[in-house]
Amino acid sequence: MTLRQAQGPHRQAQGPELGTPIQGVTLYSFTRAFHGREYDLDQLIRKTAAEGFGPGLEIIGFSSFRGFPEIDDHFAGRFSDLVDEVGLVRTSLAVNADIGLRPDRLMNQDELLAYMRTQMAAAAKLGFPIARVQISLTPDSMEALAPIAEEYGVTLALEVHADQYASHPRILALRDRYEKVGSPFLGFTMDWGATVTGFAPSLVEAYRRRGASEELLAAVVQLWDDFYEQGPPADQADHGQRFGRFIGLAHQHGRPDLGIDFGINGTGLFGPARVDDWLEIMPWVKHVHGKFFGIDENGDEPSVPVADLITLLVDNGYSGAVSSEYEGWHWNHWQNPFEIVRGEQAIQRTAAEAAGSRMITDAAEARRALDAHLAHAVRA
């Protein structure tokens, strides 16, 4: 355990009873196997259940369902039967807020609401109680979407993803609007990539395999460590300067081809906020992306403080779902993603027990806990 990991989260003063988070996974973790046609969707759902990665099941709409967001009744029924048959529990459907879909201009508010309504209807038809949405949605848009979410019984959980973080002004503006609106159908998806403690060793290895020198790799890791000590970027200008520093390093070491990649990962995937930062929005967290990048030879996640994050959830009464989200598949083609997810979930379970609680692994209990956590039913 590193010093950064050992610092740990703090419980809110006079906090709630201990939470019992629901174990789960997003099929996004297995994208390489899915896109490589090792498994079709049905087979991947069955494998997820057979491997014990549930009961929670999260799916990305556009990358998993043909024709999404148009879902016919026959497919919806067959999908529901399959999920029930294998003993999984639908937690979150990832939907998109692609305001830039048009080639000539950004969507206006009416177009965006119509676009999101179609996806919320699909989430309800498929039986997902949560729709993960993206940061491109403004406080005004989220407020306007609240009655549509209530109509379908689907909670909109906006993802707080690096380079954003819980205390970022854009996220605090959303939190304040949620408090003003008072709808139980608005909240956040906590993505652990916002609170990373180190540049992922598996990505360093991937760059090594692409011919990056040890000197360059050491410089990239050191630059990220320096940014970690400084904390999250103060604003977009600061973020842009950090991005440029990674590009500059690549040029200085004769590998300009790696510059953009360093910048995207170093600033947009590995967020340097501290674990306690999540307390700013904890009461509004509806879902969790247990983002991680790899498991080392000791069975630890060396760049994401998984145990501290689980402890934070337990200490603050969170009993919603945690979807293990293995992001290392983007670059790690030499290790088995299923074994990597298995290792990360073991860390979660151990951490929950050490915090005086446990992860829910039973489907029936998970359904009850999720219903209580959200306090409403899906209306297809």
In 3-state terms, what secondary structure has residue 167? coil
Asked about 251 being catalytic, the answer comes back as: no
- Of these residues, 10, 35, 74, 161, which one is catalytic? 161
Distant-in-sequence, close-in-space partners of 152: CB < 8 Å, separation ≥ 6: 120, 121, 123, 124, 378, 379, 380
pLDDT in tens, the chain (380 residues): 333 443 444 444 455 699 999 999 999 999 999 999 999 999 999 999 999 999 999 999 999 999 999 999 999 999 999 999 999 999 999 999 888 888 888 889 999 999 999 999 999 999 999 999 988 899 999 999 999 999 999 999 999 999 999 999 999 999 999 999 999 999 999 999 999 999 999 999 999 999 999 999 999 999 999 999 999 998 899 999 999 999 999 999 999 999 999 999 999 999 999 999 999 999 999 999 999 999 999 999 999 999 999 999 999 999 999 999 999 999 999 999 999 999 999 999 999 999 999 999 999 999 999 999 997 666 65
Q: Domain 19-195+274-374, what architecture?
A: Alpha-Beta Barrel (3.20)
Please enumerate, as own/partner, the contacts of 345-349 that have beta carbons within 8 Å and a separation of 24 or more.
Answer: 345/23, 345/25, 345/53, 346/299, 347/295, 347/299, 347/300, 347/301, 347/306, 347/307, 347/310, 348/21, 348/23, 348/290, 348/306, 348/310, 348/322, 348/324, 349/23
Kindly report, as residue ranges, where domains of CATH 3.20.20.150 are found in the chain.
Answer: 19-195+274-374
pLDDT digits (tens, 9 = 90+) for 102-131: 888 888 999 999 999 999 999 999 999 999
> Which residue shows structure tokens 């999540």?
278
d(CA 310, CA 308): 6
Of 189, 153, 369, nearest to 281 by C-alpha is 189
How many C-beta atoms surround the C-beta of residue 217 within 10 A? 17
Residues 292-350: tens digit of each pLDDT: 999 999 999 999 999 999 999 999 999 999 999 999 999 999 999 999 999 999 999 99
Residue 7's pLDDT is 42
Q: What is the DSSP letter of 65?
A: S
pTM here is 0.94
Q: How many CB atoms lie within 10 A of CB 31?
A: 18
Please name which of 194, 200, 199, 210 lies closest in space to residue 159, comparing C-alpha atoms. Answer: 194
